[in-house]
Amino acid sequence: MKTSSGFDTENWLLDSTDNLISLNKWQQTVDLLAKLFDAPAGFLVQHTGCGFQVTVSSDQSSNPYPSGTLIEPDVNIFCRKIVERKEPLYVSNAPSDPYWDTNPEVHSDGFVSYLGVPVFWPNGKTFGTFCVMDYRETSYDQTYLDLIHQLKDILESDLSLIEMYHQAQKLAITDTLTGIHNRRGFEILAEQRLILAKRVKSSLGILYFDIDSFKEINDKFGHSVGDQVLKIVGQALQETVRNTDVIGRIGGDEFVALFSVSSEEEPSMIQDRFKQCLSHKQISLNLPEFSVSAGYSYVDLSLDINDVVKIADEAMLVKKKEKR
C-alpha cells in the first residue's frame, strides 16, 4: 500500500535508500525511552503485510531483539494487538493473563510487562509501535503514559516529513523538455531537504549551472539543437547525483543541484562526473561543442532556498567571468 504521497509503506524502512531520516536520532529516542522507564528493552517496530520488523532496538545487553529482527505476522506478540486495535496497550503482568500464553516474548524471553503505543503515518495508516518491555511486573501511572506519547510524537514528525517530501514529487513539478524538476518543483523539494538537514544535522551543498553562450547555439544551429543541449544537460545532471539529491531546471539554460555533502572533495567530484557524462552525451549525439559554467556554495541552513540559490548563482557568475 502507498500513502497519498506515493511512498510505499509496505517496504521496510530499514531497506530504504532515501536517507531522509536519521536512524541515529531515532536510536537516541528509543534509548531514552528505555532509560526513563528503567526498562531492559525499548523498541520502534514497523508493521507491513509481511509481518513485523524491529526498526530500532535499545542498545542494552538485556535486550534480546536487535534492529532488523523479523517476526511473522500471525505470531501472538504484544505489538500485533496494538496494530489490530490501533490503540495503546499496557500489560503490567502478562503471565497472569492466559491470552499471552502463546506469546514467545513471554514464555520464551521471560518478559512480564509491556507498554506500547501505535505510531502512524500522516495518512492514518499504522506504521507500527513504540514500546518498552520489562522482565518485572510494573505499575506505570499516567505520567509514564504521557511521556511515551510525547516521545512518539518525535517519530511521527519525521514520518510526516518523509510524507511531505514524497508528496511534492507527485505535483506538477516536472520540466517537460528535460524531464527533471522545474523551478517550482525544485523549490518545494529543496525546502523539504533543508528542513530534513536541520533535523538530522547533515550538511548540504548547491551547484548552479549555466550553459555558456546558449543564445548563440540557438541562433547558429536552431532551437531543435538547443533543445537537445538542454536535454543532455538535464540527463547528465540526473545521472551524476544521488536519487535523494534535488535537481532542477530553474531558468532557460540554468540548472541547480542540491546535494548531501560528506567530504570537502565531494562538490568537485560531482562537477567532474557531470562534465565527463555531458561530454560523452555531446559526442555520441554529434552535438556542437559547448561549455557549462558552474558555481558552488556550502548551504547555510538558516537561509531559505531562494537565498541559497542566489548565493550559488553569484558564485557561478564569478566562474563565468573568469572564462572571458
Q: What is the CATH number of the domain that holds 178?
A: 3.30.70.270
Do 134 and 203 sit in the same domain of this protein?
Answer: no
Do 199 and 137 share a structural domain?
no
Q: Of 127, 143, 167, which marks where a domain is finished? A: 167
**Angle between helical axes of 214-221 and 223-240 (0-180°, round to 10):** 140
Q: Are residues 181 and 132 in the same domain?
A: no
- Which residue among 167, 187, 211 closes a domain? 167
Distance CA 172, CA 169 (A): 8
Burial of 182 (0-12, 13-18, 19+ CB in 10 A): middle
The per-residue pLDDT for 157 is: 85
205/149 same-domain check: no
Per-residue pLDDT of 181-213, as tens digits, reads: 999 889 988 998 998 888 888 899 999 999 999
Beta strands in the chain (DSSP E): 41-48, 51-57, 70-71, 89-91, 113-120, 126-134, 204-211, 246-249, 254-260, 292-298
The residue among 128, 151, 167 that closes a domain is: 167
Same domain, residue pair 158 and 177:
no
List Cβ neighbours of 233 (8 Å cut-off, separation of 6 or more): 178, 209, 211, 255, 278, 292
182 and 142 housed in the same domain: no
Domain count for the chain, please give it.
Answer: 2
1 pLDDT above the threshold of 60: no
Band of residue 9 on the pLDDT scale cut at 50, 70, 90: confident
- Rounded mean pLDDT, 26-47: 96
Q: Are residues 152 and 189 in the same domain?
A: no
Tell me how far CA of residue 109 lies from CA of 40, 99, 133, 285, 315, in angstroms.
Answer: 12, 16, 11, 64, 60
Tell me if 111 is assigned to some domain.
yes
Q: What is the pLDDT of residue 192?
A: 87
Q: Of 9-23, 66-80, 96-110, 125-139, where does mean pLDDT reach its minimum?
A: 9-23
Q: How confident is the model at residue 4 (pLDDT cuts 50, 70, 90)?
A: very low
Q: What is the pLDDT of residue 259?
A: 95
Residue 48 maps to a domain: yes
Q: Are residues 244 and 304 in the same domain?
A: yes
What is the residue range of 94's domain?
Answer: 13-167
Which run of H or of E encompasses 200? helix 183-200
In a domain, 90, yes or no: yes
What pLDDT, on a 0 to 100 scale, did the predictor assign at position 87?
Answer: 96
In a domain? residue 225: yes
Indicate if the alpha-carbon torsion angle 50, 110, 86, 169 is positive or negative: negative
Whether residue 321 is predicted with pLDDT greater than 70 in this model: the reply is yes
**Is there a single domain that holds both residue 127 and residue 240?**
no
pLDDT tens-digit map of 235-282: 999 999 988 899 999 999 999 999 999 888 999 999 999 999 999 999
Q: CA 109 to CA 103: how far, in whole Å?
A: 9
Residue 275 in domain: yes
| Same domain flag for 158 and 265 | no
Residues 17 and 160 in one domain: yes
pLDDT, the chain, mean: 91
- Predicted TM-score of the model (pTM): 0.56
pLDDT at 206: 97
CATH of the domain at 54: 3.30.450.40
pLDDT attached to residue 5? 45
In a domain? residue 317 = yes
- Mapping DSSP to helix (H, G, I), strand (E, B) and coil, where does residue 222 land? coil
Answer yes or no: do 143 and 126 share one domain: yes
